[in-house]
């Protein structure tokens, strides 16, 4: 692997989540394509993209800033999951699966931020 971020387990987990959210949103109603579907996919993709910013050789404070963006995107995915279950687009099982992944990513990003202090 040529880039430092590729070795980060949190980046790998964020990629997995983005793939799962992409699959999940394919089942949403067509009238959600430009609303919840788009928002959930962009938020999920944003997690790994912001973590990848590390490869630019930036300072720890700058990397922490991008990790903060990743954290906020992760929380946005959680909110999208709540909207999806309230609108009956997903089952409780799917909700819990992705919610758990978001919790794990939250813990991992928080730990990475603390390690940079």
Length of the chain: 117
pLDDT of amino acid 85: 98
What whole-number distance in Å separates Cα of residue 52 and Cα of residue 78? 21
pTM for this prediction: 0.94
pLDDT of amino acid 57: 73
pLDDT of amino acid 52: 94
What residue spans of 26-91 are helical by DSSP H? 38-52, 60-86
Q: Tell me the pLDDT of the chain (117 aa) as tens digits.
A: 678 899 999 999 999 999 999 999 999 999 999 999 999 999 999 999 999 987 667 788 899 999 999 999 999 999 999 999 999 999 999 999 999 999 999 999 999 999 988
pLDDT of amino acid 59: 86
For the chain, which domains are there? Answer: 4-115 (1.20.1440.60)
Q: How far is CA 33 from CA 40, 70, 82, 95, in A?
A: 10, 23, 17, 19
Instruction: Supply 35's token pair.
Output: 């609303």
Q: How far is CA 85 from CA 25, 42, 60, 79, 94, in A?
A: 12, 18, 37, 10, 9
pLDDT of amino acid 55: 62
Longest dimension (CA), the chain: 45
Of 42, 39, 55, 40, whose CA–CA distance to 1 is shortest?
55
């Amino acid at each position: 692997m040529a880039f430092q971020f590729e070795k980060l387990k949190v980046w790998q987990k964020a990629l997995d989540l983005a793939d799962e959210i992409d699959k999940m949103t394919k089942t949403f109603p067509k009238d959600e394509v430009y609303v919840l579907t788009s928002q959930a996919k962009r938020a999920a993709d944003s997690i790994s993209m912001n973590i990848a910013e590390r490869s630019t050789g930036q300072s720890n404070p700058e990397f922490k800033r991008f990790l903060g963006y990743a954290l906020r995107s992760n929380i946005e995915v959680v909110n999208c999951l709540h909207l999806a279950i309230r609108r009956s687009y997903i089952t409780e099982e799917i909700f819990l699966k992705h919610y758990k992944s978001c919790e794990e990513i939250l813990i991992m990003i928080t730990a990475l931020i603390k390690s940079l202090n």
